[in-house]
Amino acid sequence: MKKIVILGGGFGGISAALELSRGLQDEAEVTLVERSPVFMMGLRYLWVVTGRGTRRDGERPITALRAGGVNICAGTVQAIDAKGRTVRTDAGVLPFDYLIVALGAEPRPDLVSGFSEAAYNLYSADDADRLGRRIRDFRSGRIAISILGVPYKCPPAPYEAAMMLDDLFRRVNTRQNIAIQTFTPQAMSLPVVGAANCAQVEGLLAAKGIGFTPNRKVARVDGSTLVFEDGVRVEADLLIGVPPHRPPAVVRESGLAMRGEWLEVEPQTLRTSIDGVFAVGDVNEIPLANKLPLPKAGLFAESQGKVAARAIIAEVQRASASDVFDGHGYCFIETGAGLATMVQGNFFASPAPALTVGPPSPQVLQQKMDFEQSRLSLWFR
């Protein structure tokens, strides 16, 4: 019996674990280590904030994955010894023949002085609840939505939040009393999709009267004021931020090769610098032909998890692996008023990703809702 250990029970870890337990059945022991008792998708935070859904509706217990043949180690990974082929957790030491690192990217509000005291973290389930309550009482004033570092996961999400808030305030007839501004340190809203597609996204914001200011790097938060690196200060009555992201600390000390802050992988196979060790999803960084990284998105983490799992299945069964991660995918952009669009195409195309952004439609919003439900029902039986 081969021992296969998967670290992290998010999109990447869950899809890999289920693929492995299905593919190897009696040939391997598949163990998934996850510190959180529940799984919930990030896209639901936006529904919680805008009153479109609850956390409870999107949460599933991690232990339910046992029905799919996966051993669950409910614990925190404390150290990864990639060369020594062991992982230490607070629930014991796990030796492995194969390892998949799927520990994600952590939003780190602590990296921005003054943030936690005054701002809501758009990427935290707890803050989503608090922010939802604040929004319901918000009748007038200035809302600033600011991206505080790159890369961050789901690049459209802050703009989705702005458009969904716009829609909410229009429905309760307070929009005329509320200013919504968005700020990014980048030169355009979603640089990876290219200037023409960005113009389309920024046009959607402008049409809704939402401010968009590029090239704004936040140095610190001072009370409810954003202080930018060039000294410009923007006061707001409600600050919503996307904090800088980092991989969990254990990743940096694992002995695996890094690409800047993130794990280095071979883009099509997700193999790391050490044989039999893979890294999938937000924890890795895959450079694209236009020098920007592949966006951190659940859909990519899920496909990468499957590719890594199939490579391991092929090795155990001494077959040849034919699956590769080909960079095709999509990201939803919810635009409010019951509509959504998506960025889709080939992110691995050269000299730049070949992507389109379609017109917003109710059908794409339905696809986004189905995206969540289909995975919840497939993974958590």
Ligand X SMILES: Cc1cc2nc3c(=O)[nH]c(=O)nc-3n(C[C@H](O)[C@H](O)[C@H](O)COP(=O)(O)OP(=O)(O)OC[C@H]3O[C@@H](n4cnc5c(N)ncnc54)[C@H](O)[C@@H]3O)c2cc1C
Give residues in contact with ligand X (CB under 6 A): 8-13, 33-36, 41-43, 45-46, 76-77, 102-104, 123, 153-154, 157, 248, 250, 281-283, 296-299, 301, 331-332
Residue number with CB closer to ligand X (140 or 377) = 377
Residue number with CB closer to ligand X (225 or 358) = 358
Residue number with CB closer to ligand X (94 or 198) = 94
Q: What is the DSSP string of 108-174?
A: -GGGSTTHHHH-EETT-HHHHHHHHHHHHT--SEEEEEEE-SSS-BSTTHHHHHHHHHHHHHHHTT-
Residue number with CB closer to ligand X (58 or 114) = 58
Residue number with CB closer to ligand X (102 or 218) = 102
Q: In the complex, which residue's CB is closest to ligand X?
A: 10
Give the number of other CB atoms < 10 A from CB of residue 329.
Answer: 22
d(Cα 108, Cα 115) in Å, to the nearest integer?
Answer: 10
- Taking the complex as a whole, how short is the minimal distance between the CB of residue 345 and ligand X, in angstroms? 15
- Contact yes or no for 182/210 (Cβ under 8 A): yes
Bond from prior residue into 293 cis (ω within 30 degrees of 0) = no
- Taking the complex as a whole, how short is the minimal distance between the CB of residue 217 and ligand X, in angstroms? 21
- Taking the complex as a whole, how short is the minimal distance between the CB of residue 196 and ligand X, in angstroms? 22
> DSSP label at 353?
-
Residue number with CB closer to ligand X (29 or 160) = 160
Give the number of other CB atoms < 10 A from CB of residue 319.
Answer: 10
d(Cα 27, Cα 319) in Å, to the nearest integer?
Answer: 14
SS3 55: helix
Give the number of other CB atoms < 10 A from CB of residue 176.
Answer: 9
Residue number with CB closer to ligand X (5 or 283) = 283
Residue number with CB closer to ligand X (228 or 300) = 300
- Taking the complex as a whole, how short is the minimal distance between the CB of residue 223 and ligand X, in angstroms? 25
- Taking the complex as a whole, how short is the minimal distance between the CB of residue 275 and ligand X, in angstroms? 22
Two structure tokens written together for 128 = 């989503």
Two structure tokens written together for 103 = 């520990």
Rg of the chain, C-alpha, whole Å: 21
- Taking the complex as a whole, how short is the minimal distance between the CB of residue 299 and ligand X, in angstroms? 4
Helix and strand numbers (H, E) in the chain are 10, 26
Residue number with CB closer to ligand X (9 or 194) = 9
- Taking the complex as a whole, how short is the minimal distance between the CB of residue 71 and ligand X, in angstroms? 14
d(Cα 163, Cα 319) in Å, to the nearest integer?
Answer: 49
- Taking the complex as a whole, how short is the minimal distance between the CB of residue 370 and ligand X, in angstroms? 12
- In angstroms, the Cα distances linking 361 to 44, 194, 211, 379 are 19, 22, 23, 28
Q: Amino acid letter at 261?
A: E
Residue number with CB closer to ligand X (32 or 205) = 32
Q: Amino acid letter at 369?
A: M
Q: Amino acid letter at 246?
A: R
What value, to the nearest 5°, has the Cα angle with vertex 95 and ends 92 and 297? 90
- Contact yes or no for 212/205 (Cβ under 8 A): yes
- Taking the complex as a whole, how short is the minimal distance between the CB of residue 263 and ligand X, in angstroms? 11
- Taking the complex as a whole, how short is the minimal distance between the CB of residue 132 and ligand X, in angstroms? 13
d(Cα 153, Cα 295) in Å, to the nearest integer?
Answer: 7
